[in-house]
Amino acid sequence: MHAACFTVDKPMMIGIIGRSGAGKSTLLRMLNRLTDATSGEISFDGLNVTGLRGSAKRSWQSQCAMIFQQFNLVPRMDVVSNVLHGTLNRRSTLSTMFNLYPDDDIHRAIDILDRLGMAAHAPKRAEALSGGQQQRVAIARALMQDPKIILADEPIASLDPMNAQVVMQSLRDIHEQDGRMVIANLHTLDTARRYCDRVIGMRDGRIVFDGTPEQLTTGTARDIYGADASFSESTTSTQIETSDAAARMMADIVAQ
């Protein structure tokens, strides 16, 4: 990471794009202090995040929840317990060992699952769900932390287009309804354009583009990806289309 300077004035939904190895994951990991930068500073609302140690660092990490491409759920554990894992950082070791969760937390976990259209799946093992469903459980687990920021590292890279759309729309809704900031590494241009208010383009550890989806022209995209004149947007596209099936799936979720 060399020159990665950006400022966010208000909660928004930001997409980070760039070819493999550009530094997208590293940037997210630095924001939540999973990786430390050798120099530079990250601050949030006047708080110097780079200087945090011990419990202050853990508190910051729970304020910026991470979501991963591979969901990172406990496969054999039921859905609601996976979501309750989102409260781990504020519970004692003893209550964790015996799986003792306060009733309030359990109710909140169910409410969050309900919001994501997943309440009916609460008793199932995580491994019994489809990829898209597992990612929604991972989002529920993140929400359980009541984070100010959600950092999503390629959240839809393992999903088919229909599930990808449902997961991206869930993140968008969370941003709009709760006012949480969402920063997502995305491997396709069309997803970044469609769901994000702002797009950051990275190349070789540097931020080389920072603007609105409208400003992200094909020529700019070509520069970000470092491609030659033969660059075609379709190579960075999953062609998410509003298929009837996806529309029905969203309608089901809203209806539940």
Ligand X SMILES: Nc1ncnc2c1ncn2[C@@H]1O[C@H](COP(=O)(O)OP(=O)(O)OP(=O)(O)O)[C@@H](O)[C@H]1O
List helix spans (H) across 118-255.
131-144, 161-178, 189-195, 218-225, 244-255
Q: Which residues bind ligand X (CB under 6 A)?
A: 18, 20-26, 35
Cβ proximity to ligand X, 25 vs 135, nearer residue? 25
**Nearest C-alpha neighbor of 66 from the set 91, 34, 93, 37:** 34
Cβ proximity to ligand X, 24 vs 121, nearer residue? 24
Shortest CB 152 distance to ligand X, Å = 12
Cβ proximity to Mg ion, 25 vs 32, nearer residue? 25
3-state secondary structure of 161: helix
**Nearest C-alpha neighbor of 82 from the set 112, 117, 115, 104:** 112
Taking each helix axis as running N to C, give the angle between helix 161-178 and helix 244-255, from 0 to 180 degrees, rounded to the nearest 10.
Answer: 40
Q: Give the contacts of 219 (CB within 8 A, at least 6 positions apart).
A: none
Exposure of 169 in the CB half-sphere (CA atoms within 13 A)? 20
For residue 167, which amino acid is it?
V
**Nearest C-alpha neighbor of 161 from the set 190, 198, 119, 140:** 190
Quick one: what does residue 18 bind among Mg ion, ligand X, none, with the CB cut-off 5 to 8 Å set by partner type? ligand X
- Choosing from 17, 22, 25, 141, the residue that interacts with Mg ion (CB under 5 A) is 25
What is the spatial distance between Cα 182 and Cα 152, in angstroms, rounded to a whole number? Answer: 7
Quick one: what does residue 136 bind among Mg ion, ligand X, none, with the CB cut-off 5 to 8 Å set by partner type? none
Shortest CB 25 distance to Mg ion, Å = 3
Quick one: what does residue 242 bind among Mg ion, ligand X, none, with the CB cut-off 5 to 8 Å set by partner type? none
Cβ proximity to Mg ion, 25 vs 81, nearer residue? 25
Cβ proximity to ligand X, 25 vs 61, nearer residue? 25
Shortest CB 26 distance to ligand X, Å = 3
> 201: which strand partners?
17, 209
Say which DSSP state 159 is in.
S
Shortest CB 1 distance to Mg ion, Å = 13
Q: Segment contacting Mg ion (CB under 5 A): 2-10, 22-30, 127-135, 192-200?
A: 22-30
Cβ proximity to ligand X, 68 vs 195, nearer residue? 68
Cβ proximity to Mg ion, 24 vs 203, nearer residue? 24
Shortest CB 207 distance to Mg ion, Å = 15
Shortest CB 4 distance to ligand X, Å = 11
Quick one: what does residue 23 bind among ligand X, Mg ion, none, with the CB cut-off 5 to 8 Å set by partner type? ligand X
Please answer whether residues 200 and 28 qualify as being in contact, where contact means their C-beta atoms are separated by less than 8 angstroms: no
Shortest CB 23 distance to ligand X, Å = 4
Interacting residues toward Mg ion by CB under 5 A: 24-25
